Amino acid sequence: MKMLQFENPSIQGELKVPGDKSISHRSIMFGAISEGVTRVTGFLKGDDCLSTIDCFRKMGINITEKDDEILIEGKGFHGLKEPEEVLYTGNSGTTTRLLLGILAGRPFHSVVTGDESIAKRPMNRVTEPLKQMGASIDGRDNGNLTPLSVRGGKLKSFHYKLPVASAQLKSALILAGLQSEEETIITEPEKTRDHTEKMIRHFGGNIAREGNQIKVSGNQPFKAKDVHVPGDISSAAFFLTAAAITSGSSLVLKDVGLNETRTGILDVLKQMEADFSVNLTNDEEEPQGEIMISTSRLKGCEIAGELIPRLIDEIPIIALLATQATGQTVIKDAEELKVKETNRIDAVVEELKKLGADIHATEDGMIINGPVKLNGGQADSRGDHRIGMMLAVASLITDDAVHIKNHECISVSYPAFFEDLSHVTK
């Protein structure tokens, strides 16, 4: 159990958060299915991304880890070999679901499994459409739960309308479609993070988008290309919140990814009238820049609709932010939170209530009234890295210490989180 207590803290200085988790996963995957050596800088060496590396090594891809870069000796889709061992994805839903899309088109057998959390997370939203494309997938609960047995092969053309706005589901089907004989068409209800589409173009492939419809042709060759991974805005969100809610704070976050499908947190800060600014420093495929933020007088707002897919991972820390905003904040259309590492709607509400927050769960989100002075006490991350980091940030404004159970899970996405928090807390 981790105990955190601060006396009148402020957040000061500059910080570079670790590399974007979504891009890090995809850099390994696309490096592996491309021909030649891909060099990745800024890679997030968190547990989730290391699970992705391990899975591709088991399929015959040579991946070298150095202090400041990852080298991937890609062999193309056809160079992937049948793994002799089970592909263990740890706590990573991204690894699990996207890997299923790749395995669906490979003519060999494999078994995919993860930790206790992954074993509870539904996979049929991915496995069912992949089976319709022609893959053979089986597992617990009729292929809904890991371990999953996959025998891939020849995939047929496919037109699929996503039932939910999910970047993981979309990406899994795109990766399968890249191995199909014909065109795959995917329609999503709302635009979700588009790192997979950008990565396809970066490695020399083609993918088209018309409105919410995505078209991808199969049998595309990819060539190795260097990848720089910008800082993860999902990780930056914890420090943006820390600076906004603590007195006398002024923080600069460097080299943060500013992909428009991921910047919903900045829209929320604007709605809440936070004191922040953004300086775009690189406007390439994955734009990045600096974010400057100071102590802010926040106002409650409504967060819903098309904004939700652009900040789905930030909702735990946004809930904490809302406890310090004047008025009511309503978060809705966020049913997707129920199938994350935990049921994040219930978990966030219950854990913040322990600290004294005026917060209530709804069927598709939560309602938060503020501002509220939080107390300390015992709280539990429930093995969810984003809830663990949210509780740590909450300790900056509590009267007494916060004792965080299962804090170790934070290493999934941010191994140096506590060191960085200490570095900027004055």
Q: State the DSSP string of 1-60.
A: -EEE--SS--BEEEEEPPBPHHHHHHHHHHHHTSEEEEEEES---SHHHHHHHHHHHHTT
Strand order in the sheet with 276-282: 12-16, 250-257, 288-294, 276-282
Measured in whole angstroms, the distance separating CA 340 from the mean position of its chain's CA atoms is 10
93 Rama sector, left if φ>0, alpha if ψ -120 to 50, beta otherwise = alpha
In a shared domain, residues 176 and 266: no
Residue 22 labelled as part of a binding site: yes
Domain final position from 189, 216, 243: 216
Q: What is the pLDDT of residue 46?
A: 95
Give this prediction's pTM. 0.95
Express each pLDDT in 162-190 by its tens digit.
Answer: 999 999 999 999 999 999 988 999 999 99
Q: Does 166 appear as a known binding residue?
A: yes
Query: In b/e form, how buried is each residue of 238-257, taking b as 16+ CB within 10 angstroms?
Result: bbbbbbbbbeebebbbbbbb
**What does the pLDDT read at residue 128?**
96
Q: Does the annotation place 93 within a ligand binding site? A: yes
The answer as to whether 224 is a domain residue is: no
- pLDDT score of 340: 75
Burial class from Cβ neighbours inside 10 Å (0-12, 13-18, 19+) for residue 279 reads exposed
* Domain shared by 328 and 381, yes or no: yes
- Does 340 carry a binding-site annotation? yes
The DSSP bridge pattern shows strands 184-187 and 208-210 to be: unpaired
- Here the tokens at position 311 are 């900040």
Clarify whether residues 212 and 280 are in a common domain.
Answer: no
Residues 157, 264, single domain; the answer is no
Domain extent for 320: 2-19+231-424
Domain boundary among 187, 216, 245: 216
Cα 194 to its chain centre, rounded Å, is: 12
**pLDDT score of 338:** 75
Per the annotation, the verdict on 313 as an active-site residue is yes
Do the annotations mark residue 386 as ligand-binding?
yes
Exposed, middle or buried by CB within 10 Å (0-12, 13-18, 19+), for 368? buried
- Regarding whether 313 and 371 lie in a shared domain, the answer is yes
Burial zone of 8 (CB within 10 Å; 0-12 exposed, 13-18 middle, 19+ buried): exposed
- The reply to whether 223 falls in a domain is no
To the question of whether residue 171 is assigned a binding role by annotation, the answer is no
Which of these is catalytic: 20, 232, 313, 384? 313
Q: Output the domain CATH number for residue 45.
A: 3.65.10.10
Same domain, 293 and 154: no
Asked if residue 382 belongs to a known ligand binding site, the reply is no
Whether residue 38 is contained in a domain is answered as: yes
Residue 222 placed within a domain: no
Residues 13 and 25 in one domain: no
pLDDT value, residue 142:
87
Contacts of 268 (CB under 8 A, 6+ apart): 301, 303, 307, 311, 314, 318, 321
**What percentage of the chain carries pLDDT values higher than 70?**
100
For the chain, the domain total comes to 2
Q: Averaged in consecutive runs of 10 residues, what is the pLDDT profile of the chain (426 residues)?
A: 94 98 98 98 96 98 94 98 98 97 98 95 95 96 94 92 95 97 94 96 96 94 97 98 98 97 98 97 91 98 96 96 98 85 89 98 96 96 96 97 97 96 97
pLDDT in tens, 50-72: 999 999 999 999 999 998 899 99
User: What per-residue confidence (pLDDT) applies to 257?
Assistant: 98
Say how many CA atoms lie within 13 Å of 425 toward its Cβ: 23
Q: Which helix (H) or strand (E) element contains residue 111?
A: strand 109-113
The SS3 call for residue 79 is: helix
Strands 87-88 and 109-113: parallel
Q: What pLDDT, on the 0 to 100 scale, is given for residue 337?
A: 78
Helix (H) or strand (E) holding 318: helix 315-323
Report pLDDT for 157.
83
- d(C-alpha 375, C-alpha 357), whole Å: 9
Q: Please give the sequence-ordered ranges of beta strands (E in DSSP) within 230-322, or none if there are none.
A: 250-257, 276-282, 288-294, 302-303
Residue 269 lies in a domain: yes
Percent of the chain at pLDDT exceeding 90: 94
Query: Are both 247 and 304 inside the same structural domain?
Result: yes
The SS3 assignment for 216 reads strand
